[in-house]
C-alpha cells in the first residue's frame, strides 16, 4: 500500500475539495432501488476508462503501447448501433446480444492485427498501433457513414446506463473483468511471464518463454476491453459517433497506468494502481467542473495536477527535494565542551 500512498492522498484531496463547493457531494440516495450521488457518478464514468486502462496495463507490461484503443472504442460502438438500428424490434434481447457479439468479435480481429504486426512482423508497437489509430477512426466513420447513429433500445441502454442490484451495471461489468484479469495474472504464472517479457525480452526468449503468443494475447485483450468500453459509452447516450467516441481516451488510459505506478519501459505492473489512476482522472474531471475552472484553462489545470502527482510519486524527485532541505550542522567537539562547562 505504500506505493499507492500519493495517489490515494491526491484522490482524498480531490474528493474533499468538492465538498467545499457542493455540500451534498458525499450524499448517496436510494431512489427506486437505485443508488444515486456524485460518488456513484464517478464510478460510472470511471468504468470505461478503467477497462481501457486495464488492457493498456498488460500491453505496457510487455514493453509495448497501444494507441488504437480509442479507434476500437468508436468502431465497437458504431457497429453495435448500426446493427441495432437495422433490427425490426430494437428491444429484442437476442438482437442486442448479437450486435454486441459482432462488435466484440470485430475488436478481437483488430487486436489480432495489432499483435501480428508487433509480435510477428516486428514493427515497433507505437507505429503498429498508430496505423490502426488512424485507419480505425476512418473505419468507424465508414461504419456510421459520417453520421451519429441513434438507437432506441432498452436492452442496449442497460449496458451503460442500467442498474443491477442497485448499482450501475457498467461498474459491475468493469469490476468483473478487472477481478478476472487480476486473478489470471496474479494467481498464475501469467503475470510473471508478462513481466519477464517486458523486463528483458531477450533473456525471456533464452529462458524458453514464447513471448510472441503472450504479446499477441495482450493486444487482443486490450482491444476486447476497448470494445466493451465502447459499448458502455455508446449505450449510455444511445448513439454512436464515429468521429468523437473514444477520442483521446488512449492518452487518459496511458496516464492512468502511469499514475498507478506501472513503468512505461515494461516489466512490473499494477492492476490496482491502474484502476486507482482511472478513478483519479475522472474525479479530477468532475472536480474541475465543480470548482468552476474556466473551460479555456481546463486542460492546463488538469495537466498541472497530473504533473504534481507524478513528481510526488517520483523517488528521484523526492530524493532531490530532501537533499535541498537544510540539514542542522552537528556541534563541534569544542562547542560540546563549552556546553558541558
pLDDT reported for residue 341: 47
Task: Note the pLDDT of residue 289.
Answer: 85
Residue-level pLDDT at 313: 67
How many Å apart are CA 263 and CA 285, to the nearest integer? Answer: 24
> Which pLDDT score is estimated for 220?
96
Q: According to the model, what pLDDT value does residue 205 have?
A: 73
Q: Tell me the backbone φ, ψ of residue 331, rounded to 5 degrees.
A: -70, 140
Residues forming beta bridges with residue 241, ordered by sequence position: 148
pLDDT of residue 327: 52
In Å, how far are 7, 254, 276, 278 from 12, measured between CA atoms?
9, 22, 12, 14
**pTM for the whole thing?**
0.88
Residue 336 confidence (pLDDT): 47
As a whole number of angstroms, the distance between CA 17 and CA 19 comes to: 5
Residues sharing a CB contact under 8 Å with residue 197, sequence separation 6 or more, in sequence order? 62, 63, 204, 209, 211, 214, 215, 266
**Phi-psi sector, 67: left (phi>0), alpha (psi -120 to 50), beta:** alpha
Predicted local distance difference test score (pLDDT) of residue 340 = 53
Q: Distance between CA atoms of 69 and 67, rounded to whole angstroms? A: 6
The residues of the chain scoring below 50 in pLDDT are 335-337, 339, 341
- Tell the burial category of 307 from Cβ atoms under 10 Å away from its Cβ (0-12, 13-18, 19+): exposed
Amino acid at each position: 500500500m505504500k506505493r499507492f500512498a500519493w495517489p490515494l492522498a491526491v484522490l482524498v484531496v480531490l474528493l474533499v475539495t468538492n465538498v467545499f463547493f457542493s455540500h451534498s457531494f458525499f450524499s448517496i440516495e436510494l431512489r427506486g432501488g437505485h443508488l444515486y450521488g456524485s460518488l456513484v457518478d464517478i464510478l460510472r464514468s470511471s468504468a470505461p476508462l478503467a477497462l481501457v486502462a486495464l488492457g493498456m496495463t498488460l500491453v505496457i507490461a510487455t514493453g509495448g503501447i497501444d494507441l488504437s484503443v480509442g479507434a476500437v472504442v468508436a468502431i465497437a460502438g458504431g457497429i453495435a448501433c448500426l446493427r441495432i438500428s437495422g433490427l425490426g424490434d430494437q428491444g429484442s434481447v437476442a438482437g442486442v446480444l448479437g450486435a454486441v457479439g459482432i462488435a466484440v468479435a470485430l475488436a478481437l480481429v483488430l487486436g489480432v492485427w495489432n499483435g501480428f504486426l508487433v509480435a510477428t512482423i516486428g514493427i515497433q508497437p507505437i507505429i503498429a498501433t498508430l496505423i490502426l489509430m488512424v485507419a480505425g477512426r476512418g473505419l468507424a466513420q465508414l461504419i456510421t457513414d459520417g453520421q451519429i447513429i441513434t438507437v432506441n433500445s432498452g436492452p442496449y441502454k442497460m449496458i451503460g446506463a442500467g442498474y443491477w442490484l442497485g448499482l450501475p451495471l457498467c461498474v459491475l461489468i468493469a469490476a468483473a473483468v478487472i477481478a478476472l484479469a487480476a486473478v489470471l495474472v496474479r494467481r498464475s504464472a501469467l503475470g510473471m511471464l508478462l513481466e519477464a517479457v517486458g523486463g528483458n525480452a531477450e533473456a525471456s526468449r533464452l529462458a524458453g518463454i514464447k513471448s510472441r503468443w503472450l504479446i499477441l494475447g495482450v493486444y487482443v485483450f486490450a482491444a476486447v476491453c476497448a470494445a466493451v468500453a465502447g459499448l458502455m459509452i455508446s449505450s449510455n447516450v444511445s448513439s454512436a459517433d464515429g468521429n468523437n467516441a473514444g477520442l483521446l481516451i488512449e492518452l487518459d488510459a496511458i496516464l492512468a497506468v502511469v499514475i498507478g505506478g506501472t513503468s512505461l519501459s515494461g516489466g512490473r505492473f499494477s492492476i490496482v494502481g491502474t484502476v486507482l489512476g482511472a478513478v483519479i482522472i475522472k474525479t479530477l474531471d468532475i472536480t474541475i467542473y465543480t470548482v468552476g475552472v474556466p473551460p479555456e484553462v481546463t486542460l492546463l489545470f488538469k495537466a498541472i495536477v497530473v504533473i504534481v502527482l507524478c513528481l510526488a510519486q517520483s523517488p528521484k524527485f523526492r530524493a532531490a527535494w530532501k537533499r535541498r532541505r537544510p540539514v542542522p550542522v552537528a556541534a563541534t567537539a569544542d562547542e560540546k565542551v563549552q556546553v558541558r562547562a
